[in-house]
Amino acid sequence: MMKHKKNKELLKKIYNNLIELGSSSTRSRLKHNLCDLTFVRSSEFIDAYRNKDEYCIWDGVDGNPKTVGYFIGSPAHKVVCVSPQELITIRPSHKLVVQRFQEYIRASPLRVCKSFNDGDSGAVYRNLIVRSTAAGELMAIVRIHPKELSSEGLMEEMDRLRTFFGAGPGQDCQLSSLYFQACKHSRCTANESPFHLLSGTPYLNDYLLGAQFRISPEAFFQVNTPAAEVLYKTVLELAQPDPNTILLDVCSGTGTISTVFGPYVERCIGVEVVRQAVEDARHNAAVNNIRNASFLCGRAEQLLPGLADKFYNKNVVAVVNPDRGGLHPAVVSSLRECESIKRLVYVSCLPEGQAMKNMVNLCSEHKKKVFGPPFTPRLAVPVDLFPHTNHCELVILLER
């Protein structure tokens, strides 16, 4: 009930912004009425559902600087790292990897990287990422800041990790894949800093709505697989595709939406900026025998204008699933200007953020630098991808 109330308040805020910032014709069209909001949809599986977790390394409650877990507190006062062992959303296999990795770094002479600029050649450990599948496949990714470690020093650290998880105390984790990345920035793509496979298979394989998906170290895959099935069924329901539909899959990631939509549409076109994700998407389409999907690598704001002419007089449904940063303003403009798009499904993990500005620009008339007929919100469906939290994924159907 609390989640339903929160999403209703979010819709009111979106509409208030539309009414306040829109033209008189916008106000007349919307008539101050909220679009329909369904109750929250969810999966029956609410515990140990997370298939991906990213753990920090910091001072623990007991003061130990090599504690692996999650931050609590505030920078203005004090931040400490707490263990995930008591959290019911975390899988037991992830907790074991955390425990063993903490034992490993506490026995290591290398220290924790707390600053990118401290010049300490002995401080390297940054974080740990753990991914898993319903079948029990398990991937661990150790990320460090190389500081001033030599190439030989990095190789020695990789050998120690390989031995620890392969033949040492960490072997009981039964890792399917062990990766290592030396990254000098807050985030590094594989192009900027490669992922080194220390042992095991390069990918995990998981299933969603009967389709198989390859998961590489940096691939995006919804963290709650059973709830993701509810999410994608909802997107399919709202999009209402038919055999003459062209799906425009913006922020297509590893091709999940295109793979799900493939059997129901004439053609799928995915747009994604991460090259590894595009490679995964092409593989996923092929392995699931989806022959009508193609994936373009690049920024959506650069690719969409060139695609618009190809959609002339076609039945186009757009599905956008951006990260928390929302859509680039140029992407919003391109979606507005492509008049063949009559139905747009916006999936947002943070509807109170940039997505709200996107809604205003998609639905308001006479917005500066935004052309094309405006959309109107018709239906909003919250999907609970994050049980035991206040957060929901919000799926909004826009039509024109």
**Could you give the residue numbers annotated as active site?**
349, 393
Tokens encoding 399: 């039509």
CA angle 282/189/129 to nearest 5° reads 95
CA distances from 284 to 188, 205, 241, 277 (A): 24, 10, 21, 10
Comparing CA positions, the residue from 230, 235, 203, 233 lying closest to residue 218 is 203
CA angle 162/167/173 to nearest 5° reads 80
Residue spans of beta strands (DSSP E) within 245-366: 245-250, 267-272, 293-297, 315-320, 341-348
State how far the Cα of 14 lies from the Cα of 396, in Å rounded to an integer. Answer: 11
State how far the Cα of 168 lies from the Cα of 67, in Å rounded to an integer. Answer: 20
Classified as helix, coil or strand, 52 is strand
Classified as helix, coil or strand, 207 is strand
State how far the Cα of 381 lies from the Cα of 270, in Å rounded to an integer. Answer: 23
376 Cβ contact partners less than 8 Å away, ≥ 6 residues apart: 29, 30, 35, 363, 398, 399, 400
Q: Are strands 245-250 and 211-215 parallel, antiparallel or unpaired?
A: unpaired
CA distances from 112 to 64, 65, 70, 123, 348 (A): 11, 7, 15, 5, 34
Comparing CA positions, the residue from 74, 81, 88, 86 lying closest to residue 105 is 81
State how far the Cα of 341 lies from the Cα of 318, in Å rounded to an integer. Answer: 7
Whether the CB-CB separation of 228 and 208 falls below 8 Å is answered with: yes
CA distances from 96 to 45, 59, 122, 173, 361 (A): 21, 20, 26, 6, 46
State how far the Cα of 227 lies from the Cα of 49, in Å rounded to an integer. Answer: 9
